[in-house]
Amino acid sequence: MKETILITGGTGKFGRQFVKHFANKGWRVLFTTTCQDNANSLMEEIAGDCCLMPLIVDFTQPQAVQEIVKHIQDTGYTVNHLVNNARSLLFLQTDSLGQTSREDFLAEYLMDVVVPYELSMWLFNIQPNALSTITNIGSQYGIVAANPALYEDYPAQSPIQYGVAKAALIHLTKELAVRFAEFDIRVNCIAYGGVSGRVDDSFEARYAQLAPSGRMLSESELIGPLDFLVSENCKAINGQTIQADGGWTLW
C-alpha cells in the first residue's frame, strides 16, 4: 500500500530533494509551492511513473492552510506523513544596522512556527487515524546562535528572526509530540547545517574552518535523516531534534 506524504516548500533547495526522493520510492507525494512554473519544472525533472500533486499556495494568507487541507480532502487523499519545510527568504530582511522590522519578525515566525502548527492540527482533526509522522525542518541556528566569524557583514547576513523562529519550531516539536503521542503520531525535527550551493567559495572556506566535518553539507545528505524519521523502524524516536549538521553544534 502506497504511503502519502505532504511536503511543504516542495520546490525549494531542500524540498526538491525531498520530493524527488519519495517520488522515486513510489510514494504519493503532495507538495506545496507558490509558483505553478516551479511545480511544472520539478515534475518534468522527475518524470517517470510517479504520483505527484502540486498545491499552489501562499501560506501568508489567513485561510491558506484550511483551503489546502480541504483541497486534499476533496481529492480523496489522506496524508500519512507531513514534512513542514516551507519558508520564504523575503522575511529575512534587515536594515542598515542589521536589525529587523516587526513585520518581518512576525512573518518569519508565521512561516516557521504558526503554519506548521496549523497544518499539523488541521490534518490531525480531519484524519487522526491516517497521520503517522510529522517532521519539522529546522536549523542548527535553532540550537546555537550564529557564529560572527562566519560572516563578512554580521548581523546583517544572519537575521535574528531566523534563529529565534527555528528555536521555537524545536519546542513546537516537543509540544506536539506529547499531545499526539496517545494517537501514535510521532513528531520530530531535523536541525540541518549549512548546505553547499548557495554561497561563494570564501564563505564555504570559513564554514569549513568552523565545522568539525570541515565542510558544508551536500544536497545528497539531506535525505537520510528524513527517510529515517518517517520509517517504521523509527517508532522509538519521538519529540526529538536530530542535529544533521556535520558536528557544527558540538562546539
From CA 251, how far away is CA 241, in angstroms rounded?
17
Please report whether residue 250 resides in a domain: no
* Number of domains present in the structure of the chain: 1
| Whole-number pLDDT of residue 20 | 97
Contact 222, 195 (CB under 8 A): yes
| Whole-number pLDDT of residue 198 | 87
| Whole-number pLDDT of residue 1 | 65
Please report whether residue 33 resides in a domain: yes
Please report whether residue 249 resides in a domain: no
For the chain, list residues with pLDDT below 50. Answer: none
In the structure grid, which three cell numbers stand for residue 7, read together? Answer: 511536503
In the structure grid, which three cell numbers stand for residue 51, read together? Answer: 504520483
From CA 110, how far away is CA 159, in angstroms rounded?
15
CATH of the domain at 186: 3.40.50.720
| Whole-number pLDDT of residue 50 | 85
Measuring CA to CA, how many Å separate 68 from each of 53, 76, 118, 191, 201? 12, 13, 11, 26, 40
* 44-85 per-position pLDDT tens digit: 999 787 899 999 999 999 999 999 999 999 999 999 999 999
Q: Which of 133, 81, 90, 88 is closest to 112 using CA atoms?
A: 88
Please report whether residue 128 resides in a domain: yes
From CA 6, how far away is CA 136, in angstroms rounded?
12
Please report whether residue 40 resides in a domain: yes
User: DSSP strand E in 106-154: where?
Assistant: 133-139
Which residue segment(s) compose the domain that 206 sits in? Answer: 4-242
Please report whether residue 248 resides in a domain: no
| Whole-number pLDDT of residue 47 | 79
Please report whether residue 94 resides in a domain: yes
Q: Which of 72, 68, 64, 186 is closest to 135 using CA atoms?
A: 186
